[in-house]
Structure 1
Amino acid sequence: MGRPLTDSAALQADTDRLIYEQVFDNALVGICFMHERRFLRVNARMEEMLGYGPGELTGQSVRMVYARQEDFEEVGRVVQDFPRDNRYVHERPLVTRHGSLLWGLIAGRKIDPADPNSPSVWVVQDMSASRHAEDQLARANQRLEQIVQSRTLNLQKTNAALKLEVERRRDTERAMIESREKYRVLIRNIPLGIVITDAAGDFVEINPAMQEFFGAADLAGFDTLSRRTPCTVLRDGAVLSLRELIGTCSPSVTRRVEHLTVRWTQASGKPLWFDVIGVRVPVRDLGCAIVFLDRTEQRRARAREHSQQQQLAHATRLSMMGQFASALAHELGQPLNACISYAAGIEHRLGPELRTRPDAQEALSRIQLHLHQAGDVVRNVRAFIARHRPGNEEIDLDALVHATLELLQLQLRENGAVVRIAVDPDLPKLQGTRVELQQVLVNLILNAVEAMRGTGTRTPRIDLRVTRAARRRVRIQVSDNGPGVPPSLHESIFQPYTTTKSGGLGMGLMMCRTIVESHGGELELDNRRKRGASFRVTLPTALPAC
């Protein structure tokens, strides 16, 4: 009866070894064993990442894969005296056999923590795609800034061309321009601030818009105010009085246009921005027309958009941190529980021996104490993540949808995607965190855009519909005419690390579901569609009770 048990144990050991071999050889991340900083064994994935053939790294120094000597030395100092928790994680640039660089996330531990000369096992993940995505985002922001600058320049050129056209018409239609009544009607009703000077540079007329801009009751009051009102020229930071500014923008040559952008602060402390353009007036006894174009609202809109993007990015980072913390707490819980069980088993089986070895008994007690403390930390992290509560802002869904599309107009235009919107009238307001719900919309829309771009959809289209639902709820449906979600992923699409994109992390939809559920709602995949993908968000009009 003893021999079959022995054969069974040997068979099980061989089976376990084969399983470990298969896991090692077919892992999706690089894995290697090292001793004294030399490779003992390297799996296929790591050889593939670094460009080496089978067995070429075996016996070699780890120095050959570090891009920099200082990285190799710094890691060596840490490995020489391994951290107490027997775990070391770092990010370093690595060099492949062909000289190209990849960014590696490297984690290692000793096989026997008690043995200073123990071999160690290391896991290497290629993070180059993540770094590349960050670079692409930076380039996209740079392109956006260039587009804004280009549009501003085009608007300035258009305004200058308009002034030149007005001047040309004044030359060709002198009779009409010299008609004082028609001239006054023009400048009194135009939404631009205008100051007219004579040949000596004194003010002869201002229009109502200019009076409103600077709070002047009449021409005399404006003349007095102009001498003591400071304006800041944005080009070089120079501070000029309003009168000096007008003089600076008054060209001395016909058809020449002077242009400045200035900031003026009202007595209440509210800043105003103006584009100031000066043109020569080819009329006897007149000097120049100085035009003030109010740019305050455009600047504030750009500032609001920038602030909104920062809030959205901040919320994305916080949500990502929460998801990673939750996943890490889940993964650590199982080995901690196993360690606690093993320690309890040792104490039970070696109880008589431990009573004769108080030093070993104390060490085992300390091990159990630290394991329980680590378990408490893990449980606290998971409880903290679970207690997330959204804010209590009042959210207009119609306004939120249009603000989100305005935020994404560059990406939609670059990919030729058409968005069709249908919003039910008189929708009730929602309660929650506006930027988090906007993050959900951004993620769903960009997922659709990237899916259609990746498969070359000829006429990419996104349907965004917001409707009332039963039980005082609202529903947001985001659908596209792209390739759709493969049936094999219908059940796992919201799980972490599940993605249909080659460079995706598989965290976006998981974060979206977490946000929606924290608002008391549901995020679902509508798998009844035969073409494209459709995601449905259902939200209550009031936040759930704590």
Structure 2
Amino acid sequence: MTRAHAPIPAPVEAAAAIPAATAPPGLSPAVAIAVATAMVVAISVIDIVTGFEVRIGVLYLAPVSLVTWGAGRGWGFALALASTAAWTASAVVLPGFAHRGLALWDGVVLGATLVLFVELQSRLARALEHSDERFLRVLEGIDAAVYVIDNAGAMRYANRQLSRLVGEAATPTVETIAAHFTVQGERSGGAARPADWDDGTELANRSGDRRYVVQARDIPWVDRRRARLMVLTDVTARHVAQELQRNHQEAMHRTARVVALTEAASGVAHELNQPLEAIVGYNAACIRLIEQGGDLAQVRQAMEKCRAQAVRAGGILRQLRELTRRRTPEFAACNLNTKVRNALAWLEHELERAHVVVELDLAPDLPEVQADRILVEQVVVNLVQNAVDAMRDLPVTYRRLTIRTATEAGGTPCVRVTDRGPGIPAEVEDRLYTSFFTTKKGGLGLGLSICRSIVEMHGGHIGHGPGEHGGASFHFTIPAGGR
């Protein structure tokens, strides 16, 4: 009789020798060889004792698989041949086949099956090793520092870049990572343990000259336990570029404020002249009252008025200093209607001198915004000054400026400044917000560029279009409540 057997897999191209695979957990290669050999002997003995009543030849796959995985491809082939020899010997010696040739043929089939099984398992092991090797080479080759921490806070993996950053020859520990980096920015008072750093956390090294950003993800580790993958990317160059950009924008903002003050110098002189003349007048009155022996109550009243005018002059000077000094943006709740009125008060003398009539249409229920009051007023000042310049060649009766505030869809406050000038030529529309581009004689070309940078810094948008009665209409929005 013949033994049943599984179909033989298609031939597989021979592969070069590969290193011995890693033994199963708890078994060294030597132990794997010994255990597999003992299993072959046991299966062979059982096969002989049962006289083929129990067909267990397929069990030879177990020791062959064990030794292939634990000791490598060569030992797998050796044990496959040994298993085939043991099975064939028992089949030839014991009755069970009508012809000895059938027994030999069944042995050949079993041997071929075991050999192909060894080859397939070896290729699988090699593919896994190569996959791990490629993965590790990628992790070791990138500039980012990568490490894995399990839920117990133990370090499971760290690449070489992390070791270079913390100066550790061996695998860095959680303690060395925590000692080397400090949390920066808005989360500086947050978690100090590396395992607790959230995605987007900013870090600095101990010397403070390098900046990093954290990318954190929860992942299943090799034993299916949860672990946390942490990637620290060096963003020092980006941080420096952002700082330079902020300094550049701040310099542009200061330049624009100085230019605006220069253009409104006569208005500033007028504003200061009034309280100074009043102070001179009140002082003269006080001297006259004292010389004439007047009522001290009148002298005190004149001195109080003199003091009030001095305070007013000091307020004007403080406003000048605040507009021109180097400052960090300070965001606070404010109303855009108030900013419009403050800007118009600052430009009052210039508007009078240009004979421009201002029409206000301010929404009474405009939501408050989180904004820097000086910078927002600067946007309104720039837009109003541009509108005034656009109408200088018009007859006086046509010089009308409209400022409207409204709440757009989504509750976003909007300010719109509309003039009746000649409008915006089509050929310059695409360059309006470009730095140093201007159509005004003697202009610097910074006004609209700075307006855009300020508005976008607040998370808003600036745009333009034709006015209702000709001219141009510029508008900007700032999100209600904050950026």
TM-score, length basis structure 2: 0.41
Q: Which has the higher contact order (CA 8 A, sep 6+)?
A: 2
TM-score, length basis structure 1: 0.37
More strand by share: 1
